[in-house]
Amino acid sequence: MARETAQTDEAMIQRLRDVGLRVTGPRLEVLKVLSSGEHLDVEAITGAARARLGTLTSQAVYDMVRHFLDTGLVTKFDRPGWPAVFEIAGKPHQHALCVNCGRVANISVPRQELPDKRLRGWNLDSVEITFKGECPDCR
């Protein structure tokens, strides 16, 4: 178990170095919280990381997450009506959003075509689809 944790630390340290960010305790902790695979907002990240770090402000986490976003370490998903959530960058995917509690789940759908030819003069380079409904807990 301890060994596994050490390997995870190594991987996280490497990820930070790969994108040219200095490895600090708080950065490592925030990355570890995000590596749970969940979609977490700044408050949730702060709460989880603070439990292990002692002191940590949500402003500090916000700044860290912005750096992670700029360097491509994490991706952001905007939830209308709730704070944005973040996750470790991985395979491209779409999201399902619970309109009742704001829970987010990953979903893989076939690649979507970009309708460039139907929008004159536009240069489209990405597509984001959000499926909305109720999660199992809210149904």
* The one segment of 2-10, 26-34, 62-70, 98-106 that binds Zn ion by CB under 5 A: 98-106
CA–CA gap between residue 95 and residue 129 (Å, rounded): 7
CA–CA gap between residue 73 and residue 33 (Å, rounded): 13
Q: Is residue 98 close enough to count as binding Zn ion by CB under 5 A?
A: yes
Q: Is residue 101 close enough to count as binding Zn ion by CB under 5 A?
A: yes
Interface residue with Zn ion, options 76, 106, 114, 130 (CB under 5 A): 106
For residue 114, what are its two tokens? 């970009």
CB of 103 to Zn ion, least distance (A): 5
List beta partners, residue 104.
97
Q: Is residue 94 close enough to count as binding Zn ion by CB under 5 A?
A: no
For Zn ion, the closer of residues 21 and 96 by Cβ is 96
Q: Is residue 135 close enough to count as binding Zn ion by CB under 5 A?
A: yes
Q: Which residue type occupies 69?
A: L
For Zn ion, the closer of residues 59 and 100 by Cβ is 100
Distances (CA, A) of 113 to 93, 100, 124: 14, 30, 10
- Residue with token string 């491209």: 92
Q: Is residue 103 close enough to count as binding Zn ion by CB under 5 A?
A: yes
